[in-house]
Amino acid sequence: MLRDPNLVPLSRQHQHALALCVRIRRAKLASTREARAWQGEIEQHFEIEIRHHFTAEEAYVFPIAKQIADLAPLVEELLSEHAQLRADFEAAKTRTLDEHGVRRFAEALSDHIRKEERLLFETMQQKLSAQEMERIGAQITQAMASVPELCIPPTEQELKKTDD
C-alpha cells in the first residue's frame, strides 16, 4: 500500500534511520574506536531528527492510533520500545555501548521502524478517515517544521578523533 501523504514526513525519517541501521550492520565494528564513532553518529541522529520524531509520534500519532481497538496493544508496545530506544540513545551519548550493543541497537531500531510502517501506519490508513489523516498530517508538519532533513554518515575524521 502506498504511504498516505500525511505520514510521509515520518516515513522519510524512518528511511534515514533505516539507512543508519544498514550502515551499522555493514560496519566491521572491530574496535572500541569504531564503536565509539558509531555511537557519535547515533547520538547525532537522535539529536537532529529522532527525538523530534518520537515526540511527534507520541503527541499526534499514537493517541489517535490508540483509539483503534486493533492498534491499542501495538501502541503500548511501540511506546515501550521508544523508552528502550531512548535508553540506547543515552548510552550512545555517554559512549557506553560496546560493539555488540551498537549492533543490538541497530536491530532494535530497524525492527521498531518496520513495525510502525507495516502495522501502525498501514492500519491507520485503512481505518481513519481522510479528514483524520489530514489533521494528523497538519500536526506532524507543524511539529517537524524546524527539524532539518539530514542523514549524517560517519567520517574518517570522526573515526580518527576517537582513538582507543
CATH assignment at residue 99: 1.20.120.520
pLDDT on residue 159? 45
**Residue 152 lies inside a defined structural domain of this protein:** no
Domain hosting residue 126, numbered range: 5-144
Q: Is residue 95 included in any domain, yes or no?
A: yes
Whether residue 153 lies inside any domain: the answer is: no
Residue 157 covered by a domain: no
Q: Is residue 24 part of a domain?
A: yes
Q: Mean pLDDT across the stretch 82-108?
A: 96
Please tell me the total count of domains within the chain.
1
Question: Which grid coordinates belong to 19?
Answer: 539507512
pLDDT at site 154: 46
Task: Extract the C-alpha cell encoding 2.
Answer: 502506498
Q: Is residue 23 part of a domain?
A: yes
141: Cβ contacts below 8 Å, ≥ 6 apart: 9
Q: Is residue 164 part of a domain?
A: no
Say if 99 falls within a structural domain. yes
Cα–Cα distances (Å) from 101 to 88, 105, 111, in that order, read 8, 6, 15
Please state the pTM of the whole predicted model.
0.87
User: Mind listing the pLDDT tens digit for each residue in 30-68?
Assistant: 888 999 999 999 999 999 999 999 999 999 999 999 999
